């Protein structure tokens, strides 16, 4: 097995403002891969927050795609110039490409990435291409003020950042120090649209939720569980904050994800 850790050529226009860990990452070198797995990072973050998950599943034989979302991993001004459609089309294109090679794939996401994975599972054009979803602390709501973020953006350009909500001492997320208000308005639209479409999600879902989360309220996971139509398996992460793939419960998450995907994603050789 060879994991290609060079920057992927999709969904990115990367300037090295962040470390190499924040570049897009893929593992496509397996001679007989277990299946395809697309992972999606969160708002203002980067692939760095998902690399441990990606590397863990690559070592288990999965062909992993971990793109960098448009506007992320560069500058806050870049993020301010993007829309939720830009973020969604990035992961949608990656899902289409991965499923072309591996048949029905798994998708996993953290925070806003969790919302994006649920949106993929609800997309009628991707029916039959998504076999299972793993959503970690998926975002579904924002404070009421986010609804007017687009109106105040010309006056208030940025807000304090939300990165590095991690209980593990010494762990940190590579993320923007501030959030562009224009991008917050786009995030609000993404969450609102994804909530409306939850009933179209019929594939099995592993829903992992931190007991204490200072970024996304744990009740957002309850909204997801109540809204989707497919089977839901809940995973409690009692020792982690929002960035669970970098926190105390990371291995619990990875092992649970691997068992869940083994049950629900068909082997490419068995299609």
At 153 the pLDDT is 53
Catalytic pick among 49, 111, 240, 257: 111
DSSP notation for 187-249: HHHHHHHHHHTGGG--S-EEEEEESS-SSS-THHHHHHHHH-SS-EEEEEETT--S-GGGSTT
Contact by Cβ (8 Å): 230, 200: no
Q: Cα(159)–Cα(265) distance, rounded to whole angstroms?
A: 40
At 16 the pLDDT is 36
Q: Mind listing the pLDDT tens digit for each residue in 152-169?
A: 455 556 878 888 899 999
3-state secondary structure (DSSP) of residue 262: helix
Active site residue 57: no
Q: Global pTM? A: 0.89
Q: Strand 205-210's sheet: what is its strand order?
A: 25-27, 62-66, 35-40, 105-110, 130-136, 205-210, 232-237
Q: Cα(23)–Cα(54) distance, rounded to whole angstroms?
A: 13
CATH of domain 20-265: 3.40.50.1820
Q: Cα(267)–Cα(242) distance, rounded to whole angstroms?
A: 31
Tokens 């054009």 appear where? 125
At 158 the pLDDT is 80
Residues 6+ apart with CB under 8 A from 141: 191, 195, 217, 219, 220, 223
Task: Output the CA–CA distances (angstroms, integers) from residue 145 to 25, 116, 152, 217, in the order listed.
Answer: 35, 22, 10, 16
Active site residue 213: yes
Pair of tokens at residue 198: 């939850």
86 by Cβ neighbours in 10 Å (0-12 / 13-18 / 19+) ranks as middle
Active site residue 4: no
Catalytic pick among 12, 165, 213, 249: 213
Catalytic pick among 72, 188, 242, 248: 242
**Residue ranges of the chain with per-residue pLDDT less than 70:** 1-17, 29, 31, 143-157, 269-271
Domain spans of the chain? 20-265
How does strand 62-66 pair with strand 25-27? antiparallel
């Amino acid at each position: 097995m060879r994991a290609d850790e060079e920057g992927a050529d999709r969904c990115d226009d990367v300037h090295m403002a962040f470390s190499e860990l924040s570049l897009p990452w893929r593992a496509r070198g397996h001679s007989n891969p277990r299946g395809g797995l697309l992972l999606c990072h969160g708002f203002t973050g980067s692939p760095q927050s998902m690399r441990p998950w990606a590397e863990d599943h690559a070592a288990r034989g999965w062909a992993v795609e971990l793109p960098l979302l448009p506007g992320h991993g560069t500058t806050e001004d870049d993020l301010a110039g993007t829309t939720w459609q830009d973020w969604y089309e990035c992961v949608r294109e990656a899902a289409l490409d991965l499923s072309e090679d591996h048949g029905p794939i798994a998708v996993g996401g953290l925070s806003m990435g969790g919302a994006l994975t649920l949106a993929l599972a609800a997309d009628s054009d991707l029916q039959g291409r998504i076999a299972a979803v793993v959503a970690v602390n998926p975002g579904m709501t924002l404070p009421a003020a986010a609804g007017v973020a687009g109106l105040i953006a010309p006056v208030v350009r940025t807000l304090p950042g939300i990165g590095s909500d991690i209980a593990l001492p010494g762990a940190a997320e590579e993320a923007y120090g501030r959030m562009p208000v224009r991008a917050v308005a786009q995030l609000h639209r993404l969450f609102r649209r994804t909530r409306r479409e939850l009933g179209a999600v019929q594939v099995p879902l592993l829903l992992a939720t931190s007991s204490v989360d200072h970024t996304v309220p744990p009740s957002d996971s309850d909204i997801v569980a109540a809204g989707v139509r497919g089977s839901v398996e809940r995973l409690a992460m009692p020792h982690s904050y929002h960035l669970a793939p970098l926190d105390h419960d990371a291995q619990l998450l990875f092992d649970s994800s691997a068992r869940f995907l083994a049950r629900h994603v068909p082997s490419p050789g068995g299609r």
